[in-house]
Structure 1
Amino acid sequence: MRLMMTHSTIKQLTIKAILEYIEDNIEVKSIDIESIVCFSGYSRRYLQSLFKSHMGVPIGRYIQLRRVSRAAVLLRLTSLSLASIAGKLCYDSQQTFTREFKKNTGFTPLQYRNSNLWTFKNLTGPKEPSIVIPKPKLCYLDENKFKGMPMSYEEDIPFWGENSDKKWNYVKKYFTENKESYIAISHDVNPSARKKVRIKLIFWFEKERHNHTTGVLTAGTYAKFEYTGSIKNYIHYINNVYMNSLPFYGLQKKNVYDLEIIHKDKDDSYRFEYYLPICNKT
């Protein structure tokens, strides 16, 4: 039994190392099964069998989907040229990039960038051997005209929240200085010419302030996600929502404000409710 557990652990660690290698190198060099063989020291046949049994897809297919998925994010959240994106993701030409992107998403890169909906068909985020895909609850929200304090900052792509301290420091300060048990926030994103995204948000307030701004939460269907835990883990959870949950459940995001409600409980833990505006399933 002990030998079986040890063998299983080695397999899990091997898969984890391969997944990390792919993420670390996806914008560094062209990755294929041969580069994974050289990295791991295992045979091609063994790696194909191991990866397929744990991840459900062949290594080559996973690499292809991760590259297309990273390209999709860059198309939606930046104004980088197609040639720049193709180069960043190590495609041998813009034509190869366009062909592979359309084959997997059904859209040309420009069609995908200019669409009113953000579709996630055939996309996949960074995976882990034991990943749990968040399950949404679909709900309807009425239109809500709100006002509040604006804030903006830039985030890197891929998004891991490393530059969002401005937002979270304000959230912590708010709960320290106010008796309210929650705070509501809505976000909008603006493409950047660099590999960054400009995030604009509004902290909802009932009382008008000197620097207030207004917004409208559109009436419609929202996918509700709930999470309890630390801010750091919540940021990873939201990344999982966008890149794994939305593709898995076939949901499309509208280009309108979302809604995030953050609660702070008496034991200083955080509860998050995230309402993501969606259209019909793909």
Structure 2
Amino acid sequence: MMNQTSIISDLILWIEKNLEQPLSIDHVADKSGYSKWHLQRMFKKVTGQILGTYIRNRRLTHAAVALKLTSKPILDIAMQYRFDSQQTFTRSFKKQFSDTPATYRRNTLWDLEGIMPPIVLNRTRFMLPEPSFVNFPEKVFWGITYRNNCSLNQLIQNNAVFRKQFFTDYLAKYFKNHKMLPDRIYTFMRTHSDKDHIDEQQIFYTIGLEDNSIVDNIHKYVNQGGLYICFKYVGIPSGFSDFMSQVYFSALPRLNIKIRAGDVIEIHYDHSNLTASSIVSEIPLMECDYCVPIIMKDDAGCL
């Protein structure tokens, strides 16, 4: 017989895939095969959380991300995550995020307090190292900018796929004129909501160097700099998506910061083993600093 942790772990994975579907306690109990009373007791025992509250918090978290990263109407977002009216959605949203959905969307700074990560059982998650705070100066880089679209639900996973595609193209262009890469490669990522496709994000990803190296289609790129919070990642490339999820959904919501407009910067190190035929998935070890543009909450009133 499966132990309770395995049962609840499988159930959580199913809930995550079905947040836009009916998820009353009766629906979830039917899926689990247990009575709703037994299931709720088991869920609380294993996770320390109340099942119905967990589902609502996860739906509101997804709704908050949709408000900030898409142009989808608020009512549509409320309906997407199974709130029976915009009024009910607004009341629940304000309780979790201390702002109405409209105010939350309008704010130029993104306060992640209230974002609730999914519960993870049965496996050891990558432990994030302590972040550092860095003030980057405005600086000129030389690079190539790539662009793609993806749905909001696939933003983090597709980001890893796009990174592989973009790096493969960039490396092929670079090695036409050079034998070895420099010690550091910089990437600058920014996203914009797509007015023509309200469920999608436009991803702009610039790969560049500090010097004007001869690369096909290279252009000048100016990063505005400012205060960043940086997390170090050392691991296999396939683990980077889980790393990013933990940065945004676990680490940043606990800190006294707000995300401001600006590029997310990745600084990639140690490319001594890369060749013209290398692709990102073949790199045995990936080392980079992942830096998010922020402002301290205590300074937000000074803007």
Question: TM-score, with normalisation over the residues of structure 2?
Answer: 0.81
- 1:11/1:281 CA distance change after superposition, 3 Å: farther
- 1:25/1:229 CA distance change after superposition, 3 Å: same
Measured after TM superposition, the shift of residue 268 of structure 1 is 3.9
What is the aligned counterpart of 2:90 among 92, 98, 101?
98
> CA offsets, 1:129-164, max 9 Å, x none?
144563441322231322322111112222242365
Q: Secondary structure at the match of 1:119?
A: coil
Residue matched to 1:141: 135
> CA offsets, 1:112-145, max 9 Å, x none?
1111211111212333114456344132223132
Paired-residue identity, %? 25
Q: Secondary structure at the match of 1:118?
A: coil
Measured after TM superposition, the shift of residue 76 of structure 1 is 0.7
Q: Secondary structure at the match of 2:186?
A: strand
> CA offsets, 1:175-195, max 9 Å, x none?
573522431101111012421
What is the aligned counterpart of 2:289 among 239, 253, 273?
273
Structure 2 spans left out of the alignment, 5+ residues? 274-282, 299-303
- 1:135/1:251 CA distance change after superposition, 3 Å: farther
Residue 53 (structure 1) aligned with residue 45 (structure 2): yes
Residue matched to 1:187: 189
- 1:256/1:49 CA distance change after superposition, 3 Å: same
Distance (whole Å) between structure 2 residues aligned to residue 260 and residue 233 of structure 1: 15
Residue matched to 1:207: 212
Letter in 2 for 1:115: N
Letter in 2 for 1:170: F
- 1:85/1:132 CA distance change after superposition, 3 Å: same
Distance (whole Å) between structure 2 residues aligned to residue 51 and residue 214 of structure 1: 50
Contact 1:153 1:164 in 2 (8 A): no
Residue 12 (structure 1) aligned with residue 5 (structure 2): yes
Residue 79 (structure 1) aligned with residue 79 (structure 2): no
User: Over aligned residues, Cα RMSD in angstroms?
Assistant: 2.4
> CA offsets, 1:161-213, max 9 Å, x none?
23654432232454573522431101111012421111112212220665414
Letter in 2 for 1:149: I
Distance (whole Å) between structure 1 residues aligned to residue 34 and residue 50 of structure 2: 15
Letter in 1 for 2:49: V
Distance (whole Å) between structure 1 residues aligned to residue 233 and residue 22 of structure 2: 36
Contact 1:146 1:204 in 2 (8 A): no
What is the aligned counterpart of 2:36 among 41, 44, 50?
44
Letter in 1 for 2:78: A
- 1:110/1:103 CA distance change after superposition, 3 Å: same
How many residues of Structure 1 are paired with residues of Structure 2 in the alignment? 273
- 1:127/1:155 CA distance change after superposition, 3 Å: farther
Letter in 2 for 1:103: K
- 1:265/1:75 CA distance change after superposition, 3 Å: farther
Measured after TM superposition, the shift of residue 82 of structure 1 is 0.7
Residue matched to 2:280: none
Distance (whole Å) between structure 2 residues aligned to residue 101 and residue 124 of structure 1: 12
Distance (whole Å) between structure 2 residues aligned to residue 250 and residue 45 of structure 1: 38
Letter in 1 for 2:45: S
Letter in 2 for 1:201: Y
Residue matched to 2:278: none
- 1:69/1:171 CA distance change after superposition, 3 Å: same
Distance (whole Å) between structure 1 residues aligned to residue 236 and residue 13 of structure 2: 23
Residue matched to 1:216: 223
Distance (whole Å) between structure 1 residues aligned to residue 67 and residue 272 of structure 2: 38
Distance (whole Å) between structure 1 residues aligned to residue 4 and residue 51 of structure 2: 15
Residue matched to 1:154: 149
